[in-house]
Structure 1
């Protein structure tokens, strides 16, 4: 009985040791690290804001005379919010070059705009005023400015 009990004991201990080793292997794991990078594009590109200008109203322009005024509307046709800080009107041809008719130039006029800086939500608009005045250039013949159409170029940002 001593031999059988000793043998059984060795079998039980060996089996337990094998299970412990095998069981330990079942709980073993690999270590690993991972990283990922992804560049996301914003949901939409901003659409350029649009500017529409009403007709100038007031007296006919003359050196040192009364000014003409018009309202303009800046609209955000995009899907996100856009900030409008300034709206500037200058006297330029539609191709962006200096304007002149004979000796009548932008130097014969004064242009100013009034707008309150704001953020425009999608499809929102703001209204401002543009004022055009002919200045009196002392000692300068301004006859070429009679009856001319003065082109206003608007820039908003």
Structure 2
């Protein structure tokens, strides 16, 4: 009987030790915190792409009016607002045009561009028109403008 009582004591002691260890594990933990920061990259505007074509009878002093049809395309990845179109008789850098034959920007009148001031979706376009007429300058010989290729410069913003 003493053997059984000692054995029971060992079982009870072992069980109590296991419960104490197991019970303690249930309440043990690691404390932790965490944070994270990230940034999104914003794109940038893309320059509008302007194309044009002109139609009408050849220009002459106070003669026919030609009409240039232009298209402003948004090649960017976001919506861009088209507020203004400026058209002038100028070279590709916007410098007022003068030919070697004495014809110049002063011999021409550019009308007010007609277009929708709007926001242009990515990959979309807006079309407009502008007139060009050769003016009569009574005190100036305009023979240098005969057969001239008159450049129009477009600035979209």
User: What is the TM-score with the length of structure 2 in the denominator?
Assistant: 0.70
Map 1:16-95 → 2, pairs under 5 A:
41-42=41-42, 44-54=43-53, 56-95=54-93
Match of residue 128 from structure 2: 128
Shift of 1:53: 0.6
Cα distance in 1 for residues equivalent to 2:121 and 2:106:
37
Q: How many residues in Structure 1 have an aligned counterpart in Structure 2? A: 120
Following TM superposition, the consecutive aligned residue runs of length 4 or more in structure 1 with deviations greater than 4 angstroms are: 37-40
Q: CA offsets per residue over residues 131-151 of structure 1, 9 Å max, x none? A: 110001122111101000001
**Structure 1, gaps ≥5 residues long:** 1-36
Shift of 1:97: 2.7
Please give the root-mean-square deviation of Cα atoms over the aligned residues, in Å: 1.8
Cα distance in 2 for residues equivalent to 1:95 and 1:82:
23
Cα distance in 2 for residues equivalent to 1:96 and 1:81:
26
Match of residue 29 from structure 2: none
Q: Are positions 1:139 and 2:139 aligned together?
A: yes
**Structure 2, gaps ≥5 residues long:** 1-36
Shift of 1:98: 2.8
